[in-house]
Amino acid sequence: MSVDVHQFGVSVAESVLERIDGVPVTPRWSPTAHCVPRGTTACAPTG
């Protein structure tokens, strides 16, 4: 799974700062996680 953790952190920080300032917290969009397929799901070769 992959998600834009930088954007998520920015959104959380903005919300926290608004809350501390005592102003209404703006609703924000949260990045949606998405599947990143790997090249294989087989066991690694031995030896």
Determine the 3-state secondary structure of 2 from DSSP: strand
**CA distance linking residue 47 with residue 41, whole number of Å:** 18
0.85 cut: is pTM over it?
no
What's the domain range around 24? 1-33
- Residue-wise pLDDT tens digits, 21-44: 999 999 998 878 888 887 777 777
pLDDT at 45: 79
**CA distance linking residue 22 with residue 27, whole number of Å:** 15
Number of domains observed in the structure of the chain? 1
Residue 10 lies in a domain: yes
Residue 45 lies in a domain: no
Q: How confident is the model at residue 4 (pLDDT cuts 50, 70, 90)?
A: confident
